[in-house]
Amino acid sequence: MSKTNFNSILSECAKNLEIIKNETHYHYENLNEYNSTLEKELKNYKIDDKDKKEINVIIYNSKNSDGAFSAAIVYHYITDNVKNANIELIRLGEGQQNLLEKINRLNNKNVIILDLQYNDEIYKKLGDVCNKVYSIDNHKSPNNTPSNVKVISSNNGHASCALVWKVFYPTKQVPDAVKLVDLGDSKKRMKNMAYSNFFTSAITYRITASPYIGYEKWNRGEPLVKIWKIIESGNTVLWRIIGKYMGESIENLKEQIAKNAVIKSFQGYTVAVLNFLDPVLYKRVAKQIITNFKNQNRHIDFAVLWGWEHSSNRYKISLTCEHSNLCKVDLPKLADILGKKGGARGGGGGFGYVGNFYWPRNKEYDIWDLFEKNYLTEQDKKNLQKK
């Protein structure tokens, strides 16, 4: 029996199951409330059907479900409406260096950016090179953009994928799969739509972080086609069951890893540090480290995870706080400052409560310098204080 048939059998068995947990509070009591908040966040943002069909570059965050689902929606719309569509897919995670390296070859292209936050400088460069640029995101809005750059960036409650759906399929109801990703990403509850985290956990391990889906498949759009089939099927129960058992394994793993963190000084801050960094678990482990020390009544400013990347020949450092509203240090700015001071290719940045940067290993620098030396000026530290 093949894996595909096995999944089909389980899906058929589970299709009539309801997996819902009774909560004491819901952000959305019904579908009308959910839809009205979406419309409010969109603020009449629209892309004409003709312009949608002319998009030939999709730049998106493939490292999470929100970015991948956003891209799948756009990719399907174009391939479904444009015969022999030739779409370039550019997958980017956190940071801006990779995009800077690719901008020059986007001359006269019609580009859409999904679930990625960039600054005014990046949008200016894109506007100078590209024919048209659209951006749909759920982070901080840019201050100024060129006339040929159209941005909707809202951090008031919905994930990018829900906004993308309403832009590309404005007359159709948001599918359950998209709602689950939206609710999971925005950490909100909707009546009769619980357990979104189980769904996104399964998507993470089966698609967005799967080691069995290589670069060539991503470049051909195969994972996006697979995601669209999940959206179109309307059956999310099997994925939530898979995610439930994956979630139990993850909880066990992150506890076992997080307990090894120790307190150190890092650029004048008190941090919990661990030599651990992988593309899937590191944020969960960092949050667990923070929880562990909080439960022990031991103060830390944030968690620091680091690891050596053999592929890029440099260290990658991740800074994580409990929550963007609770963190007293601007971690994206700190990562940007340290990335520039170290001078490692790729720089640094991030958003919210997470900052990431690279650090070199040569005659002048090594990882231990970040814990034994202080590269921050007094002015740097003042600029990093969040009000």
CATH code at position 64: 3.90.1640
pTM: 0.73
| Residue 252 resides in a domain | no
Same domain for 189 and 282, yes or no, is no
What is the tens place of the pLDDT at every residue in 200-255?
888 888 898 888 898 899 999 999 999 999 999 877 877 888 887 877 887 888 88
Last residue of a domain, one of 246, 268, 288: 246
Q: Report the C-alpha gap between 68 and 284 in whole angstroms.
A: 19
Tokens of 331: 């971690």
What is the tens place of the pLDDT at every residue in 347-359?
777 777 889 999 9
CA torsion, points 365, 371, 372, 377, in degrees to nearest 10? 80
Same domain for 237 and 286, yes or no, is no
Integer CA distances (angstroms), 51 to 60, 109, 131, 170, in order: 18, 12, 11, 15
Same domain for 215 and 264, yes or no, is no
Burial tier of 79 (Cβ tally within 10 Å: 0-12, 13-18, 19+): middle
Same domain for 93 and 233, yes or no, is yes
What is the tens place of the pLDDT at every residue in 98-132?
677 778 888 999 999 998 878 788 888 889 999 99
CATH code at position 357: 3.10.310
| Residue 313 resides in a domain | yes
Long-range contacts of 235-238 (CB under 8 A, 24+ apart): 235/11, 235/14, 235/15, 236/176, 236/177, 236/180, 236/199, 237/11, 237/14, 237/15, 237/17, 237/18, 237/19, 238/7, 238/10, 238/11, 238/14, 238/15
Domain membership of residue 275 as a residue range: 259-384
pLDDT at 12 over 70: no
Last residue of a domain, one of 246, 273, 307: 246
